[in-house]
Structure 1
Amino acid sequence: MTAMNQALNFLLVDDNPEDRALVMRELGREFPDRRFCHVTDHKRLTLALDRGPWDLAVTDYKLNWSDGLKVLTAVKARWPDCPVIMFTGSGNEEIAVQAMKSGLDDYVLKSSRHHARLAAAAVLALDRARERRALREAQTRHQQLFERVPVGLFCVALDGRITEANPAMVEMLGYPDRQTLLKVDAGDFFADATERRRWLAAVQRSGVVERFELRLRRYDGKLIWTEINARAVKDERGRTRHREGSAEDITSRKRAEEKQRNSREQLRALAAYQQSVREEERTRLSREVHNEVGQALAALKTDLFSLEKTLTEGASPASLDSALERLKGLPGAVDGIMSTIRRIATELRPPVLDDLGLEAAIEWQIEEFQERTGIPCEFDSKVRDPKLDPDRATAVFRILQEALSGIVRQARATRASIHLSEEGDKLVLEIQSNGRGVAGRGISVRRSLDLLGMHERATMLDGEVNVIRHEGEGTSLGVRMPLQRAGEKN
């Protein structure tokens, strides 16, 4: 590169005006757009250095007031990036070597056959200075990226020493500072020796591993899940020098995945359980319809056939009297059948829930529960408007039914209390019993699925179900649901 795109500032240090003119002529040919600052004493040098920066300094070695080595030192101390060329006729090889060791960029003799070299040396010195600046800026950017990137970065020697770790890596592993981390052998971080061998084998086999999941041990001893991307850095002979890469804490993601897996398993179990419950309910209804309604209808049909036969075959007065008595009993039999049908229909969905609302339905269910089980229940309602959204009312009512069934099947309670209230924009149903509770260690699979079913009912309507076991005092089950009144739109 021999042409510059902008004006260059050259510092020219020489006592001899003819030599300064020579430098200006030679450099002017290569750099048309340039400015020179002439320095002929120490004062002017100090002023010039303060006025910088300078793109290039050209100095003689022998000066009346100093020497080229001192000028070199002064320039580099003030402007480290400024290249310096010594253009002299009074130096020697020893001085040249000393100057080069001190940071001199080039050494050109003041002889006619070397004059042309001055411009070439200047071009080369400027290019090298530009490359050094670019390299330093790139290193600075790299270091800033290394320090600021939110992902852990590391470099590990073949003997297991950690040679580099950025702040994110230090923070992820919970170490107080980088130096403490660098004192630890990398092998000590692995929670499982088998995982470490798998990781090392993968790096050695392909040279690169991507999204490798393994557990690492933090400074406090806790284990975290990490995702590692790493590569083996090799020399020109293909031998591994060290390993470097990134590590990201994915513990939260792994927990979420585990929770999702558990949820899927629970949902599958719940679906199977609900199907089983539906089949049980169908079987029960079929049995009740067949055994109670069917048998009652069969008996009624038999009586009707008998009456028809008696009335059409010229029966005796005594037979007619008997038939009349049987006829009087038919309305009662029909009433019994209708009562059974109403009971079955009520079990499927109590009409009181649709006709009178949630509060009345809960009251009816509690009375029915007390009569059926003999377990006394208290009911307290503070709901200001019992006519709630039908979906929410149905969900709350079904949860109540399931909870009461659980009290009988699992809790072995001798008393219960039910409270219905409002807290802000929430409908709150609380069911308390003095039994052993649903949160005990002996909870059955069926009861667990019952609870899961309650949770699902509530969750579908943005509600929640909480179970709290009070040691020695029984259990409370709380339902909270957004309060949306009948007739309101979502």
Structure 2
Amino acid sequence: MTVSVNQPLTALPSFLNESSLLLNELLHAVADEIYLLDAADLKLVYANASALSNTGFDLAGLQKLPLSDVLGVSQATLKGHLHAHGSETRFLRLMQDLAPVIGRISHEQLCVKIISSEQGTFLLLIKSDLSPISSSDCHDCAHTFNQVLMDSESRVEAIISNTPGLVFQLQLDPRGDIVFTYLSEGCKALLGFNAADLMQESKLFFAMMNPRDKASLRKRLVHSADALTQLDWEGRVWINDWQDNKWVNLRAIPKVLNDGVIQWVGIMINITQSKNEKLELQESRHELAQLTAHMNQIKELERTRIAREIHDDLGGNLTAIKIGLTSIINRLATGLPVSAEQAKGLESIVDNTFEAIHKISSDLRPNILDLGIVAALEWQAKEFEKQVGISCTFTTNQADIVVTPDQAITLFRICQESMSNIAKHANATSVQVDLNLHYGEIIMKISDNGIGINTADTYKPNSFGLRGMQERVAALYGSFDIDQLADQGTVVAVTLPIE
């Protein structure tokens, strides 16, 4: 079978082709004929472009011909060379038994080198048309090929060493366990094992996983092998030396080797940070949904309370006023006298109505905020001391601090909620409220000398009061902190930017 100039060229065997595409291109470009034989059966497995062009055959056609017709040497000569020079790693000159029949030219010489790899042992032969033949010819040819190979390998090593992760080759043994045939030096940083140790005990990789992730990887390996599709898996591995879990992502391309074994070549990277951020985002969304549901529930309860107060207090008062006025009107119509006590009773009911209206209005939005946030917090501190009986001191470094309406209600409500928590849980005897303007930021601190908050309590699922404070501050691009003081007590700190 002859080959045309435009026919596709043969590709390097996997153990060379994986080193570099550049090497493949260079071997096709050189003028010398290059052949690769499997040392086990002396079968031709590769021929470069020059060999195909000079012989007029494609690789399949050359494989059907006797080696003596192509190379001018017999299988017996090649077997003798293997036996005599099996441990030799240099290129050696090989004398031809006779002139080759295919692609015959006047002066030819053979240089041969034995190459060992994980896939087996191979004979690399370079046939040159040189005249006259000198002892340095093979050396020059060998030097050129070795230099190309070394340059290619150095490029690959440079790429691998600068790859952010672990480069690997793996296969599956008959039991379905992973066997690593190659691991880059990133193995230690990612998995806590030296590359050589993990290659020797590849089963340790499965042992690092939890059962669920292990089953997921096995399933995806089987699917990738069956369909020859890219393997994409992520899971958790336990790093014993660091006593910590890592999330890793594994991506690899499968390829069928000459012996039918499927080999994956790929990269493994640490995705712990991005995975944790994703989980934190999901948890934050879940907490926000819970807080929203709680706030809606509180809103409905507040509406119910206000409706009850309007109905019971205002409605009751207005009913009493109507009855009193009706009585007065009837007495006046019949000429009976109206006593001052009746008028004063109605006046008292009207006063109570005004107080109820003021209370409901104040609950919805404190009127004291109209006087400024400094006056509002000072008033709140005095009201707390008067109503609860706990000493409460207010300090500020400004007579007045200009804030937006949203900032004002946020600071007021957080102070209100904090004081409510102190009254319920702190067992404190004194409270300090500080409101200061400092380097373009509004800083409010509410501290007490009580029993102090347990850090774990701030993470309880039903800590809606604290979550509400955090969400209020976050909406205004501020920061919220709650800590236990060194000696005793708790401090709530809110920082808001000046707008």
Same topology, TM > 0.5: yes
Show the counterpart of 1:229: 251
Structure 1 pair 244/190, CA: closer, same or farther in 2 (3 Å)? farther
User: Aligned-pair distance for 1:376?
Assistant: 2.1
- Output the CA distance in 2 between the equivalents of 1:194 and 1:274: 38
Q: Which runs of 5+ in 1 are unaligned?
A: 2-54, 58-92, 485-490
Q: For each residue in 1:172-206, what CA deviation from the matched residue of structure 2 results, as whole angstroms up to 9, or x when unmatched?
A: 2244x544554543434523245334323421343
- Output the CA distance in 2 between the equivalents of 1:383 and 1:152: 59
Matched, 1:167 2:174: no
1:281-300 → structure 2 map (5 Å cutoff): 281-300=302-321
Out of 451, 461, 472, the residue aligned to residue 457 of structure 1 is 472
Please, which moves more after superposition, 100-109 or 276-285? 100-109
1:360-371 → structure 2 map (5 Å cutoff): 360-371=375-386
Show the counterpart of 1:249: 270
Query: TM-score, normalized by length of structure 2?
Result: 0.67
- Output the CA distance in 2 between the equivalents of 1:258 and 1:278: 30
Out of 262, 276, 281, the residue aligned to residue 283 of structure 2 is 262
User: Aligned-pair distance for 1:143?
Assistant: 3.2
| Matched residue type, 1:192 | N
User: Aligned-pair distance for 1:359?
Assistant: 0.7
| Matched residue type, 2:329 | E
Contact kept, 8 Å, 1:203 with 1:232, in 2: the verdict is no
Q: For each residue in 1:401-436, what CA deviation from the matched residue of structure 2 results, as whole angstroms up to 9, or x when unmatched?
A: 111122223334333111112332221111112333
- Output the CA distance in 2 between the equivalents of 1:104 and 1:374: 105
- Output the CA distance in 1 between the equivalents of 2:254 and 2:424: 63
Contact kept, 8 Å, 2:171 with 2:264, in 1: the verdict is yes
Show the counterpart of 1:16: none
Show the counterpart of 1:149: 163
Out of 336, 339, 357, the residue aligned to residue 341 of structure 1 is 357
User: Aligned-pair distance for 1:468?
Assistant: 0.6
- Structure ID, larger Rg: 1
Out of 233, 240, 261, the residue aligned to residue 239 of structure 1 is 261
- Output the CA distance in 2 between the equivalents of 1:336 and 1:417: 34
| Matched residue type, 1:142 | V
Matched, 1:308 2:329: yes
Structure 1 pair 255/118, CA: closer, same or farther in 2 (3 Å)? same
User: Aligned-pair distance for 1:269?
Assistant: 0.9
Out of 388, 393, 404, the residue aligned to residue 373 of structure 1 is 388
- Output the CA distance in 1 between the equivalents of 2:357 and 2:375: 22
Local SS of the residue matching 1:117: coil
- Output the CA distance in 2 between the equivalents of 1:446 and 1:161: 45
Structure 1 pair 337/106, CA: closer, same or farther in 2 (3 Å)? farther
Show the counterpart of 2:50: none
Structure 1 pair 181/345, CA: closer, same or farther in 2 (3 Å)? same
1:46-445 → structure 2 map (5 Å cutoff): 102-104=91-93, 116-118=105-107, 121-122=128-129, 137-158=151-172, 160-175=178-193, 178-188=195-205, 190-207=208-225, 208=229, 210-218=231-239, 219-240=241-262, 242-315=263-336, 320-322=337-339, 324-354=340-370, 356-383=371-398, 385-439=400-454, 441=456
Local SS of the residue matching 1:481: strand
Show the counterpart of 2:69: none
- Output the CA distance in 2 between the equivalents of 1:381 and 1:198: 60
| Matched residue type, 2:388 | T
Structure 1 pair 102/313, CA: closer, same or farther in 2 (3 Å)? closer
Structure 1 pair 445/299, CA: closer, same or farther in 2 (3 Å)? farther
Is the helix fraction higher in 1 or 2? 1
Local SS of the residue matching 1:150: coil
Contact kept, 8 Å, 1:215 with 1:224, in 2: the verdict is yes
| Matched residue type, 1:348 | L
- Output the CA distance in 2 between the equivalents of 1:165 and 1:444: 42
Contact kept, 8 Å, 2:209 with 2:237, in 1: the verdict is yes
Q: For each residue in 1:435-481, what CA deviation from the matched residue of structure 2 results, as whole angstroms up to 9, or x when unmatched?
A: 33443556796861110110011111111111112366121111111
Counting matched residue pairs gives 385
Local SS of the residue matching 1:480: strand
Contact kept, 8 Å, 2:91 with 2:142, in 1: the verdict is no
- Output the CA distance in 1 between the equivalents of 2:305 and 2:460: 22
- Output the CA distance in 1 between the equivalents of 2:497 and 2:316: 47
Matched, 1:481 2:496: yes
Show the counterpart of 1:43: none
Q: For each residue in 1:297-327, what CA deviation from the matched residue of structure 2 results, as whole angstroms up to 9, or x when unmatched?
A: 1100101111111111232xxxx142x4422
Contact kept, 8 Å, 1:410 with 1:447, in 2: the verdict is no
**Sequence identity percentage:** 26
- Output the CA distance in 1 between the equivalents of 2:446 and 2:157: 62
Contact kept, 8 Å, 1:463 with 1:481, in 2: the verdict is yes
Structure 1 pair 249/444, CA: closer, same or farther in 2 (3 Å)? closer
- Output the CA distance in 1 between the equivalents of 2:331 and 2:161: 106
Please, which moves more after superposition, 367-376 or 272-281? 367-376
Query: TM-score, normalized by length of structure 1?
Result: 0.68
RMSD of Structure 2 on Structure 1 (CA): 4.0
Structure 1 pair 206/442, CA: closer, same or farther in 2 (3 Å)? closer
Structure 1 pair 289/413, CA: closer, same or farther in 2 (3 Å)? farther
| Matched residue type, 1:340 | A
| Matched residue type, 1:341 | I
Local SS of the residue matching 2:353: helix
Local SS of the residue matching 1:225: strand
Structure 1 pair 440/329, CA: closer, same or farther in 2 (3 Å)? same
Q: For each residue in 1:79-102, what CA deviation from the matched residue of structure 2 results, as whole angstroms up to 9, or x when unmatched?
A: xxxxxxxxxxxxxx99xx899985
- Output the CA distance in 2 between the equivalents of 1:187 and 1:197: 15
- Output the CA distance in 2 between the equivalents of 1:137 and 1:407: 73
